[in-house]
């Protein structure tokens, strides 16, 4: 016992020391301190989380970072102290780093909003007794890491069984996520009703669209994207659960979107500057969790109105008099949504930087599952493929119908970015997989890019 | 000229960029002035064995693959008839297992397959996954066939059967990680574990599949060469990165060949 206590204190001390050293060295420490501390004392997560209440875990393949950042902002706006790993460092080391920063030992501590990687959920929940677990969606992502979605769903189920007291907040529109409910505990669902962008046929590659009990394909009345939508099993009748929180009357606005956020005894109109239907889900997930934790609807409306995630996802910048966006892409659904968001009707120069390191996914075959239509329809002036898998991307674009005159392959990222800036267009679109993202930011900064806080999606401007 | 392709279970077996293979076949045929019709055939749909020149079967998640497997057996007689009459088959990953004789699960259950290829598959306890390159004696062009594999099953070619390996592993695992073979070809039926998708970075194999399929209706078709510089550059870059020099020599020669053919 004594020994454990000493180890634990030592781990906290070393972790905080590492964080301090990183700061002194001018580096951001999102994982290293936690990594060191967990090496010293693997049971540290449980210790650190003890003083936090409530603990909210956000998991799922897409939307974790935006959802957890927004939820943390909502709780803070309601006057709560919040600890969160808002930088997207969502493996155990990142979670530990966040807790090291925030946890202050005994007493009624702050709330914790923790984004946790789907694959790490089991490890984290073994130690941390969560009060609320939010599951955003289970879309195809890095399959060489997690193999298959069914397997992932059952591993999440197993992880959740470790916290039988935790409430679940689930995305009703994702049949795989919805099927996580039904083990007797309190489950709350949120859903998005039909939008002007809904389709009656799937546009993206499907997966996870079988009835979890009968294994027959589900029948959809509409799809939002991926396998998210309104579904019913033609065999047993299992259908999308009724959402306690619903997004209705979604409208795409010039800058972002608006929707009615509907809950049991009311509805409010939310407007958000974030682009795309996938951000409507992030707002719904965070808003629903906020309501469950006592955040006032008026606070939700005010925070959502101005909420823009800091880094990651879509980052705007200005460079050499041009407007630019940098977007993280990591799977077919995410990349298709990103293209729908940023590919406008202005001539643009693209850099598509694809790597295949562990954090990107070693298998790049997912590139062929991306719905490239928004790109193909947009007036692209130049598409430069870059990164370790530049040639793979170029071949994929060639067969998708991109004109060869517009296509260039420049594996070196710096050379690719410099070439793109030279193009006689005033809009730059940079799509990057995870391990190229930091390098992209650094290179752009080195070239003189100014980050643009107010990013305006260029979709609705006339040609 | 018109090529009829049947895409089996496009809604279930669509993991790992499989639809890319159809896109590659489609474009390479169209660039040569050959019309292409691709028809999706799924659960419960009838299948006209006379209509198609090529059947394509991809891989899917375990559950989807199980659903497809059950339905595929009911389509077995039609498919066998089509193959006997000269149709080609390209089956990848899970599809490859389904066109073999059987799959033996970890629990020892035998799940029958179509038997279009003289191979059988046994469940393994780890996944064989990673980048892979093979040399295929079927192809006139000596450059390696490259791709990605990710499979739990170990597939073996029956010793007394008439199947040949599609290729021999240069690096990677192949059929089972032990005998150095990859895939199987028997007549005009091809099975392989390579996805990525398979045909994109391997134009020699793409054209081989295309010519097998065209042979059903059009004898003596010669496919004129295409400008394949990007494709070969991708193949080359792959070998440079993962093969530590393997195939570099052939590839240099290959690129020159491709250039002179195109020019
Ligand atoms: Zn059912």
Task: State the CATH number of the domain containing residue A272.
Answer: 3.40.1190.10
The CATH classification of domain B2-219+228-242, taken from the options 3.40.1350.10, 3.40.640.10, 3.30.300.30, 3.40.50.880: 3.40.50.880
Quick one: A85 and A163 in the same domain?
A: yes
Measured CA distances, B82 to B55, B88, B94, B162, B189 (Å): 9, 8, 21, 19, 11
C-alpha–C-alpha distance, residues B16 and B95, integer Å: 12
Across the interface, whether the CB atoms of B19 and A149 are under 8 A apart is answered no
Across the interface, whether the CB atoms of B16 and A210 are under 8 A apart is answered no
Percentage of chain B modeled with pLDDT above 90: 75
pLDDT at A250: 95
- Evaluate whether B149 touches B128 at the Cβ level (below 8 Å): yes
How many angstroms separate the alpha carbon of residue B258 from the centre of ligand 1?
A: 53
Closest residue in A to B20 (Cα–Cα): A368
Beginning with the edge strand found earlier in the chain, give each strand of the sheet holding A82-84 in spatial order: A82-84, A111-115, A55-59, A132-135, A167-171, A187-192, A245-253, A256-263, A266-272
**A258 is a domain residue:** yes
- Evaluate whether A270 touches A285 at the Cβ level (below 8 Å): no
With 0-12 / 13-18 / 19 or more C-beta atoms within 10 angstroms meaning exposed / middle / buried, residue A176 is: buried
Q: Is B66 in the A-facing interface, judged by CB distances under 8 Å?
A: yes
Quick one: A223 and A323 in the same domain?
A: no
Quick one: A230 and A140 in the same domain?
A: yes
Last residue of a domain, one of A284, A306, A328: A306
Measured CA distances, B234 to A390, A421, B169, B208, B237 (Å): 8, 25, 19, 19, 5
Region of B245 (left: φ > 0; alpha: ψ -120 to 50; beta: rest) is left
C-alpha–C-alpha distance, residues A343 and B94, integer Å: 35
Most A-contacting residue of B93, B94, B230 (CB-CB within 10 A), to test interface: B230
Last residue of a domain, one of A243, A278, A306: A306
How many angstroms separate the alpha carbon of residue A236 from the centre of ligand 1?
A: 4
How many angstroms separate the alpha carbon of residue A234 from the centre of ligand 1?
A: 7
Q: Is A149 in the B-facing interface, judged by CB distances under 8 Å?
A: yes
Across the interface, whether the CB atoms of B148 and A362 are under 8 A apart is answered yes
- Neighbouring C-alpha atoms within 13 Å toward the C-beta of B171: 12
Instruction: State the nearest Cα–Cα gap between A84 and chain B, in angstroms.
Output: 34
Nearest-10 crossing angle of helices B19-30, A390-400: 60
pLDDT at B258: 33
What is the residue extent of each domain of chain B?
Answer: 2-219+228-242
Measured CA distances, A214 to A181, A210, B30, B159 (Å): 17, 8, 41, 39
Most B-contacting residue of A369, A373, A390 (CB-CB within 10 A), to test interface: A369
C-alpha–C-alpha distance, residues A453 and A314, integer Å: 11
Instruction: State the nearest Cα–Cα gap between A399 and chain B, in angstroms.
Output: 6
Q: Is A239 in the B-facing interface, judged by CB distances under 8 Å?
A: no
Closest residue in B to A201 (Cα–Cα): B11
**A1 is a domain residue:** no
**A463 is a domain residue:** no
pLDDT at A207: 54
- Evaluate whether A117 touches A90 at the Cβ level (below 8 Å): yes
Q: Which of A144, A207, A368 sits opposite B129 (nearest CB)?
A: A144
Q: How many domains does chain A have?
A: 2
Told to judge if B138 belongs to the known catalytic residues of this protein, a careful annotator would answer: no
How many angstroms separate the alpha carbon of residue A309 from the centre of ligand 1?
A: 38
**A224 is a domain residue:** yes
Region of A289 (left: φ > 0; alpha: ψ -120 to 50; beta: rest) is alpha
Quick one: A323 and A361 in the same domain?
A: yes
The per-residue pLDDT for range A207-218, each reduced to its tens digit, is 557 888 888 889
How many angstroms separate the alpha carbon of residue A182 from the centre of ligand 1?
A: 14
Quick one: A288 and A147 in the same domain?
A: yes
Quick one: A319 and A447 in the same domain?
A: yes
Q: What are phi and psi of A345, to 5 degrees?
A: -110, 25
As given in the structure block, the two tokens for residue B208 are 């081989």
Q: Cα B260 from chain centroid?
A: 28
Block means of pLDDT (10 residues each) for chain A, 463 residues, are 77 82 69 82 83 91 90 91 78 83 60 90 91 91 57 89 94 94 88 90 64 87 89 95 95 89 93 89 97 95 84 76 90 82 88 92 90 90 96 97 95 97 95 91 92 46 30
Most A-contacting residue of B9, B11, B14, B17 (CB-CB within 10 A), to test interface: B17
Residues of chain B where predicted confidence (pLDDT) is lower than 50 = 247-263
- Evaluate whether A220 touches A228 at the Cβ level (below 8 Å): no
- Token pair 């997966």: residue: A207
Q: Is B173 in the A-facing interface, judged by CB distances under 8 Å?
A: no
Contacts of B129 in chain A (CB under 8 A): 144, 362-363
Nearest Cα residue to A118 out of A84, A100, A92? A92
Across the interface, whether the CB atoms of B16 and A366 are under 8 A apart is answered yes
Told to judge if B186 belongs to the known catalytic residues of this protein, a careful annotator would answer: no
Instruction: State the nearest Cα–Cα gap between A354 and chain B, in angstroms.
Output: 13
3-state secondary structure chain A: CHHHHHHHHHHHHHHHHHHHHHHHCCCCCCCHHHHHHHHHCCCHHHHHHCCCCCEEEEECCCCHHHHHHHHHHHHHHCCCCEEECCCCCCCHHHHHHHHHHHCCCCCCCCEEEEECCHHHHHHHHHHCCCCEEEECCCCCCCHHHHCCHHHHHHHHHHHHCCCCCCEEEEECCCHHHHCCCCCCCCEEEEEECCCCCCECCCCCCCCCCECCCCCCECEEEEEEECCEEEEECCCCCCECCCCCEEEEEEEEECCEEEEEEEECCEEEEEEECCCCHHHHHHHHHHHHHHHHCCCCHHHHHHHHHHCCCCCCCEEEEEECCEEEEEEECCCHHHHHHHHHHHCCCCCEEEEEECCCCCCCCCCHHHHHHCCCHHHHHCCEEEEEEECCCHHHHHHHHHHHCCCHHHEEECCCHHHHHHHHHHCCCCEEEEEECHHHHHHHHHHHHHCCCEEECCCCCCCCCCC
Across the interface, whether the CB atoms of A207 and B61 are under 8 A apart is answered yes
What is the dihedral sign for C-alpha A190, A193, A195, A201? positive
The per-residue pLDDT for range A111-163, each reduced to its tens digit, is 999 999 888 899 999 999 899 999 999 886 544 444 577 788 888 999 999 99
pLDDT at A33: 83
Count of residues in chain A = 463
Q: Is A216 in the B-facing interface, judged by CB distances under 8 Å?
A: yes
Quick one: A220 and A257 in the same domain?
A: yes
C-alpha–C-alpha distance, residues A425 and B246, integer Å: 42
Domain that includes residue A172, residue range: 9-306
Which is catalytic among the residues B93, B151, B184, B204? B93
CATH code at A349? 3.90.190.20
Quick one: A136 and A216 in the same domain?
A: yes
Quick one: A253 and A339 in the same domain?
A: no
Quick one: A266 and A397 in the same domain?
A: no
Q: Is A143 in the B-facing interface, judged by CB distances under 8 Å?
A: yes
C-alpha–C-alpha distance, residues B92 and B155, integer Å: 12
pLDDT at A25: 67
- Evaluate whether A423 touches A397 at the Cβ level (below 8 Å): no
Nearest Cα residue to B196 out of B11, B59, B10? B59
**A458 is a domain residue:** no
Instruction: State the nearest Cα–Cα gap between B84 and chain A, in angstroms.
Output: 32
With 0-12 / 13-18 / 19 or more C-beta atoms within 10 angstroms meaning exposed / middle / buried, residue A279 is: buried
Q: Is A203 in the B-facing interface, judged by CB distances under 8 Å?
A: no
Which is catalytic among the residues B7, B151, B195, B204? B195
**A185 is a domain residue:** yes
C-alpha–C-alpha distance, residues A202 and A222, integer Å: 8
pTM: 0.70
Q: Is B126 in the A-facing interface, judged by CB distances under 8 Å?
A: no
Which ipTM value was assigned to this complex?
A: 0.91
Q: How far does chain B reach from its first CA to its final CA, in angstroms?
A: 25
What is the dihedral sign for C-alpha B171, B174, B180, B185? negative
Nearest Cα residue to B79 out of B50, B42, B38? B50
Last residue of a domain, one of A287, A306, A325: A306
C-alpha–C-alpha distance, residues B171 and A110, integer Å: 53
Q: Cα A144 from chain centroid?
A: 19
- Evaluate whether A261 touches A48 at the Cβ level (below 8 Å): no
Across the interface, whether the CB atoms of B43 and A147 are under 8 A apart is answered no
Quick one: A299 and A318 in the same domain?
A: no
**A28 is a domain residue:** yes
């Amino acid at each position: 016992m004594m020994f454990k206590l000493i180890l634990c204190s030592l781990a906290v001390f070393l972790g905080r020391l590492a964080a301090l050293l990183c700061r002194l060295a001018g580096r951001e420490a999102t994982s290293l301190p936690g990594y060191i501390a967990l090496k010293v004392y693997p049971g540290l997560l449980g210790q650190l989380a003890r003083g936090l209440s409530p603990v909210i875990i956000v998991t799922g393949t897409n939307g974790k970072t935006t959802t957890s950042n927004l939820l943390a902002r909502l709780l803070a706006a309601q006057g709560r102290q919040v600890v969160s790993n808002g930088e997207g460092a969502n493996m155990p080391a990142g979670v530990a780093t966040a807790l090291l920063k925030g946890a202050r030992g005994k007493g009624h501590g702050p709330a914790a909003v923790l984004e946790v990687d789907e694959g790490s959920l089991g490890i984290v929940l073994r130690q941390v007794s969560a009060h609320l677990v939010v599951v955003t969606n289970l879309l195809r992502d890095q399959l060489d890491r997690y193999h298959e979605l069914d397997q992932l769903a059952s591993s999440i189920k197993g992880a959740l069984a470790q916290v039988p007291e935790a409430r679940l907040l689930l995305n009703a529109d994702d049949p795989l996520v919805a099927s996580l409910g039904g083990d007797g505990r309190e489950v709350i669902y949120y859903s998005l009703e039909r939008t002007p962008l809904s389709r009656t046929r799937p546009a993206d590659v499907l997966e996870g669209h079988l009835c979890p009990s009968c294994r027959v394909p589900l029948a959809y009345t509409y799809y939002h994207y991926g396998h998210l939508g309104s579904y019913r099993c033609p065999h047993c009748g299992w259908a999308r659960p009724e959402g306690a929180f619903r997004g209705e009357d979604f409208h795409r606005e010039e800058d972002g979107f608006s929707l009615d956020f509907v809950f049991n005894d009311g509805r409010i109109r939310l407007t958000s500057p974030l682009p795309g239907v996938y951000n409507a889900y992030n707002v719904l997930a965070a808003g629903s969790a906020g309501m469950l934790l006592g955040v006032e609807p008026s606070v939700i409306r005010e925070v959502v109105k101005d909420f823009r995630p800091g880094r990651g996802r879509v980052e705007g910048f200005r460079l050499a008099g041009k407007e630019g966006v940098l977007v993280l892409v990591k799977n077919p659904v995410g990349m298709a949504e990103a293209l729908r968001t940023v590919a406008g009707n202005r001539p643009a120069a693209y850099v598509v930087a694809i790597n295949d390191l562990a954090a990107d996914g070693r298998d790049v075959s997912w590139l062929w599952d991306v719905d490239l239509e928004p790109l193909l329809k947009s007036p692209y002036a130049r598409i430069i493929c870059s990164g370790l898998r530049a040639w793979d991307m170029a071949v994929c674009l060639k067969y998708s119908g991109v004109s060869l005159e517009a296509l260039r392959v420049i594996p070196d990222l710096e050379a690719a970015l410099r070439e793109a800036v030279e193009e006689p267009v005033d809009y730059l679109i940079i799509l990057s997989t995870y391990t190229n993202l930091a390098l992209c930011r650094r290179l752009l900064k080195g070239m003189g890019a100014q980050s643009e806080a107010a990013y305006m999606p260029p979709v609705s401007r006339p040609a | 000229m018109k090529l009829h392709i049947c895409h089996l279970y496009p809604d279930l077996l669509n993991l790992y960029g499989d639809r890319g293979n159809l896109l590659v076949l489609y474009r390479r045929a169209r660039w040569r002035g050959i019309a292409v019709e691709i028809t999706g055939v799924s659960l419960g749909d009838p299948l006209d064995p006379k209509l198609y020149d090529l059947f394509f079967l991809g891989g899917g998640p375990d559950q989807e693959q199980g659903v497809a497997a059950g339905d595929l057996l009911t389509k077995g007689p039609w498919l066998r008839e089509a193959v006997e009459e000269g149709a080609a088959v390209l089956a990848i990953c899970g599809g490859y297992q389904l066109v073999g004789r059987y799959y033996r699960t970890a629990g020892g259950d035998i799940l029958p397959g179509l038997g279009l290829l003289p191979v059988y598959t046994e469940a393994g306890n780890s996944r064989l996954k990673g980048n892979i390159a093979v040399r295929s004696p079927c192809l006139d062009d000596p450059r390696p066939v490259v791709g990605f594999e990710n499979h739990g099953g170990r597939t073996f070619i029956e010793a007394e059967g008439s199947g040949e390996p599609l290729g021999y592993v240069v690096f990677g695992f192949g059929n089972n990680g032990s005998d150095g073979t990859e895939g199987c070809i028997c007549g005009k039926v091809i099975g392989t574990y390579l996805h990525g998708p398979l045909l994109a970075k391997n134009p020699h194999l793409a054209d081989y599949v295309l010519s097998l399929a065209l042979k059903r209706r059009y004898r003596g078709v010669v496919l004129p060469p295409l400008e394949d510089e990007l494709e070969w550059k991708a193949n080359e870059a792959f070998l440079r990165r993962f093969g530590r020099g393997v195939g570099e020599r052939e590839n240099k020669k290959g690129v020159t060949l491709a250039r002179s053919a195109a020019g």
